[in-house]
Structure 1
């Protein structure tokens, strides 16, 4: 039997979805004559400012509908960054305690601002076991979005459904992966348990292990992107849109341009869509800051020159 609280909680989540407008498609300028259009699906306009907002809402809804989250349940997650902020937002909306277990170097400022609690652990891979243990200790629910994402019931409001209503033709797709992430080598080798054990330097993208939510058989192409190229491309997005995007958006742009180059070589016309994952002034202190990049050994300048030659002068990629 579904409780009155669960009915009300699901109604709140559905109402939040209904009043959230579709995120815009922004045309990214490409040289004349390419016969390919590149669109940026701007998820930074979500209420919590990132791509993770949709998934966080769907995860809460599914966990409540299935009885795993009830009134007063402490919600625990192993994550940092934008996903933790989005989940903290929905926990506050529903009046639920929220704890994010995150790597030692992750900032929990956004979570704490929304009333959540952060627990930092080291090494980074320890977040999973610690979150599961903590949820058991407090009698809470470990949301485990990396495992749940593959089977989540979006119940409307998912990005793909919205996107297909905005573009005239089905776009080509691309998956990108930064350095230190397990997805590209795991996908290429067929090793479902591949692990690098190393955290990504690009916030919001890349994992040290193959997560259950990643389904390799659905992926046609994975483009590994150097971290310095992600920084350069994030700066290019800011130059052309004015948005202070994160380096993960730069990773997306670089991968999209790799795909467009392949399309042009094969004389394929069409639309390519990639995502602005978030855009926040905090990125001005990271990937858009020369001192930050240099302190991490990321020489973005050669990649910026390559982007300039391609996009401004139409030279070969």
Structure 2
């Protein structure tokens, strides 16, 4: 038992040391020429070692499981994921010398699969995305392992009061800006963990900032927010924007900390993603496009109301993982996704 306790202490030290290896992610200001008095800020989460916002979640999930005594030196770690969380979890599993299995939908972008394998993870693909939870639980039982279960534990694994969470980082970086207290913070919801952390932090710190969650049109979250009786989507109703939006309401989704939700069509998200990529000179992922659409809608409303201020959102991941999907014109054409009009509209506002 003492050997396991010593191993866990060293595992926690390794994960905490990983955080200290680099500075926090950058906050990038974007002027909006058509929205006088309003500045948009992008919290660039693609600069994490595993390239996405999910690096924060994976770190928190591992620390949570270690400190709860759920992971030991011989534990097989398993996760149900659309890709990015599993990439980050594979990174931490390899750091600790643990076997890691990612249960992913068969449609997950190939570069994400490659990244999971690059970090030493194994892939268990399923044809029906709705079965990832049950399959992950089964594999955990068969291996005597631990199912990290991001969709249940995301909202509780991160300390929302502070301790280096993303909300605390945003407000620290905004201190010297013209409008240091944002009017809005905008994020997406995959597990709901990020929105829960930010929403709780805003209330705990008594900030006037409001939280808007941008959600794919074909996701259950915004429907549940409007009508709590809705908890699942009809079959074959799904978004192609990876990382956000879900077919069922996840346990980590906390609607009561959200001030507003905006539903965004996939084609509009992709058009906005393309426009922002051109503006930045680097590619971003689809969920960042979803966030941008909501930000521009809020900026329009602020201008109409004669308000000045700041809006902060997340650049969730880079676009390299989507070269064969969102940045492949033929892939989009085969799915009849008409994105060019939305790209032109967003480009005119950036």
Hey, what's the Cα distance between the residues in 1 that align with 2:143 and 2:87?
21
Hey, what's the Cα distance between the residues in 1 that align with 2:246 and 2:35?
37
What is the CA-CA distance between 1:90 and the residue it aligns to? Answer: 0.3
Hey, what's the Cα distance between the residues in 2 that align with 1:101 and 1:31?
44
Q: Match of 1:271? A: 310
What is the CA-CA distance between 1:167 and the residue it aligns to? Answer: 0.5
* SS of structure 1 residue aligned to 2:173: coil
Hey, what's the Cα distance between the residues in 2 that align with 1:192 and 1:273?
29
- Give the alignment's TM-score, normalised by structure 2: 0.85
- Give the alignment's TM-score, normalised by structure 1: 0.93
1:122-133 equivalent positions in 2, closer than 5 A: 122-133=127-138
Hey, what's the Cα distance between the residues in 2 that align with 1:192 and 1:15?
43
- The structure-2 alpha-carbon separation of the partners of 1:90 and 1:295, relative to structure 1 and needing over 3 Å to count, comes to same
Q: Is contact 1:185–1:194 with CA below 8 Å preserved after alignment? A: no
Dislocated runs of 4+, deviation >6 Å: none
Q: Match of 1:81? A: 83
What is the CA-CA distance between 1:80 and the residue it aligns to? Answer: 2.7
| 1:170 aligns to 2:181 (yes or no) | yes
Hey, what's the Cα distance between the residues in 2 that align with 1:24 and 1:153?
20
Hey, what's the Cα distance between the residues in 2 that align with 1:211 and 1:16?
29
| 1:253 aligns to 2:292 (yes or no) | yes
What is the CA-CA distance between 1:152 and the residue it aligns to? Answer: 1.2
- The structure-2 alpha-carbon separation of the partners of 1:231 and 1:308, relative to structure 1 and needing over 3 Å to count, comes to same
Q: Is contact 2:233–2:247 with CA below 8 Å preserved after alignment? A: yes
| 1:220 aligns to 2:259 (yes or no) | yes
Q: Is contact 2:34–2:349 with CA below 8 Å preserved after alignment? A: no
| 1:289 aligns to 2:300 (yes or no) | no
Aligned pairs, number = 311
Unpaired runs of 5+ in structure 1?
312-317
Q: Is contact 1:88–1:98 with CA below 8 Å preserved after alignment? A: yes
* SS of structure 2 residue aligned to 1:120: strand
* SS of structure 1 residue aligned to 2:78: strand
Q: Is contact 1:181–1:196 with CA below 8 Å preserved after alignment? A: no
Q: Match of 1:90? A: 92
Unpaired runs of 5+ in structure 2?
186-211
Match of 2:11 among 9, 12, 15: 9
